[in-house]
Chain A
């Protein structure tokens, strides 16, 4: 447990580079236990980089990343995962030639083997479609089902914090609503802390308790989700012409 007032995940002055190109130019982000925090920004602003930097790929060249009070800046990626930070990465990255069940089992790598069937049940209750398709290969699923699989796979680790990268990307509006409803359920019922990276600013900010806006590798704005939704700059940059 984190001490009261102490954030579950904290990034301080994090700088990350691809080669010599700075992708993050000193980012500060805090996520407290039980929160849904949204990170919004345009293409190439550094949203996904920020998320992957938490996992050490790319590694933060400067600054510090702490999870539950522990410095994880230099920890190997798979060790970070063992601390029960899970992610549904950009582009979902499910294992296409393995079955849904096998995908979920890999997701459970860091958890106790004895919990496997209980964890599977939990995922199948949240996404009943996956139960029906458990013996199909991941690559044969539809986009929405693949997204469910990616989130389900992350949940198999019994995470304290789940990072979701663009869970709404390429999905029909109805499916987006389903996915977001599932995220809300996870947060409210299981007290799961969620860090959500989204281009779909409207949906994300409505769902999130707090939000950050990233522009060009720097956090340009932060505030509660409702507050950010009202800001004229945000409406102009991310909402007008988009979803109303």
Chain B
């Protein structure tokens, strides 16, 4: 990264122009066919060839100017604000993160009260918290244990279908099915864990990806049980300690002497998923202090060393998969009861990718980071709904930007899980540097 150098060094104009010219050339090569030339269907049905050289020139010029400006001034900006920030500022930033987490939680608790009248925002809130919970769950597998799982949606699906099917065939309520769904998903996690025990990195990623697809195809093709592509409709809604959310005289509203409103159920659902997400967070934080959580992290760092120190890596991996899967299953059961209808459509690879993106963008192993990333991404998707055809473009740019400028995620400092006395803060950047400098 171009971070070395002195503040007082004058900008190097010829070098900047050269860099800009190269970037413009690359942009030209990239866009000449994508933007410069276009084929449309003409009035007779034949393809008509049109050119858009104006737009092409504009884009190439924009790339040229932006690259030149960046080459000239970016280093000064970074040096002035970024890497030269003195340690006290970095340390107070870490303290700020604590306040940020508290403020974030406070806001999350108040959302249904502040936005009570806004059904759309409440639904979005539920969606964000659901993905935050999925992020927390996947964080155990990817962030803590370092096992790259591209098929996390499988457990979400197992949880959702477990609840839907148990409710349909045995008529059990949401609150009984929730732990069952978690258990079944955890079992699926162990099932996935066994064949991939000896795999790491890319190979593990491919197998988990396949596992996610297998689950979806089973759901799609086992028509007699799952209804196949038609899904399962009429999944029962959760009740408030046995009180259903409806207008009947035994319903929630009547019992508490309130006027019936469908919003009650939405608010209730919001608090259910928030509780589940907070539970996931709490369990994760607790587990990290226990030997098993430490073993997960050690496994991420060095599997061989782990084994030589007496850590049973088989059990460690399986518990990581099972734990992560269990929370995915909880979230899945919640998803089923919220939607009232599920089909394999909802459990495509895109969901896995989204949850993984949330974990990676948020900073692997950081709980606050995951929550922020989920909010930014899902909130962003909604905010720019009209531009949805550019969604993937923005997504890609965001990913590239994160990888370049915050390679360890938005919230990259990981608090040590145990400490005697007062912990010292070390920035993630320092850790990263030290890692590359120490000889293996």
Q: Which A residues contact B (CB, under 8 angstroms)?
A: 55, 57, 76-78, 81-82, 86-87, 89, 91, 93-99, 101-102, 105-107, 109-110, 113, 134-137, 139-141, 143, 146, 153-154, 157, 170
Given contacts A95-B297, A99-B416, A139-B438, contact A106 B431 (CB under 8 A): no
Q: Which residue from A95, A101, A136 sits with its C-beta under 8 Å from B420? A: A101
A231 to B313 Cα, complex, angstroms: 44
CB atoms of A57 and B309 under 8 A apart: no
Q: Which residues of B contact A106 (CB under 8 A)?
A: 294-295, 298, 306, 309, 311
CB of B418 within 8 A of chain A?
Answer: yes
Task: Please give 7 more A-B residue pairs, beta carbons under 8 A apart, in addition to A99-B418, A101-B419, A102-B417.
Answer: A77-B307, A78-B311, A91-B439, A96-B435, A110-B310, A136-B424, A141-B434
Is B202 at the interface (CB under 8 A from chain A)? no
Distance of A153 Cα from B310 Cα, bound (Å): 12
Contacting residues, chain A, for B423 (C-beta < 8 A): 135
Question: What are 12 A-B interface contacts by the 8 Å CB criterion?
Answer: A55-B307, A57-B308, A78-B310, A93-B305, A95-B297, A95-B301, A97-B414, A98-B297, A101-B419, A105-B291, A106-B298, A135-B423
Chain A residues closer than 8 Å to B305, beta-carbon distance = 89, 93-95
Within 8 A of A (CB), among B263-307: 291, 294-295, 297-298, 300-302, 304-307
- Given A97-B301, A97-B414, A137-B431, answer yes or no on A109-B439 (Cβ-Cβ < 8 Å): no
Query: Known: A95-B305, A101-B419, A140-B434. Is A81-B310 also a contact (CB below 8 A)?
Result: yes
Residue with the greatest number of chain A CB neighbours at <10 A, chosen from B416, B418, B431, B439: B416
Q: Are B439 and A170 in contact (CB under 8 A)?
A: yes
Question: In whole Å, how far is B122's beta carbon from the nearest beta carbon of chain A?
Answer: 39
Picked from B294, B310, B424, B431, the residue with its CB within 8 Å of the CB of A82 is: B310
For residue A86, which residues in chain B have a CB less than 8 angstroms away from its CB?
309
Out of B313, B419, B440, name the residue touching A99 (CB < 8 Å).
Answer: B419
For chain B, give the interface size range.
35 or more
Report how far A169 CA is from B180 CA in the complex, Å. 54
Spell out B's residues near A (CB within 8 Å).
291, 294-295, 297-298, 300-302, 304-313, 414, 416-424, 426, 430-431, 434-435, 438-440
Cβ contact within 8 Å between B416 and A135: yes
**B255 → chain A, closest Cβ, in Å?**
49
CB-CB under 8 A from B424, the residues of chain A are: 135-136
Q: How many A-B residue pairs have CB under 8 A?
A: 110
A101, B297: Cα distance in complex, Å:
13
Q: Is the CB of A102 within 8 A of B294?
A: yes
- Give Cα A89–Cα B305 distance, bound, in whole angstroms: 8
A99 to B291, CA, bound (A): 14
Q: Are A140 and B419 in contact (CB under 8 A)?
A: no
Q: Is the CB of B426 within 8 A of A95?
A: no
A99 to B301, CA, bound (A): 12
Residues of B within 8 A of A136 (CB): 424, 426
Residue of B nearest to A153 (CB): B309
Distance A55 CA – B421 CA, assembled complex (angstroms):
36
Of B294, B306, B438, most buried by chain A (CB within 10 Å of CB) is B438
- B138 smallest CB distance to A (angstroms): 19
**Taking the nearest CB of chain B, how far is it from the CB of A95, in angstroms?**
4
Closest to A109 in B: B310
B307 CB contact (under 8 Å) in A57, A98, A153: A57
CB distance from A80 to the nearest CB of B (A): 8
Q: How far is the CB of B181 from chain A (nearest CB, A)?
A: 33
Q: Report which of B294, B310, B440 forms a contact with A105, defined as CB distance below 8 A.
A: B294
Whole-angstrom distance between the alpha carbons of A101 and B419 in the complex?
Answer: 7
Q: Which of B301, B309, B430, B435 has the most CB of A within 10 A?
A: B309
With a 10 A CB-CB cut-off, give which of B294, B298, B310, B423 has the most chain A CB atoms: B310
Inter-subunit contact B439/A57 (CB<8 Å): no
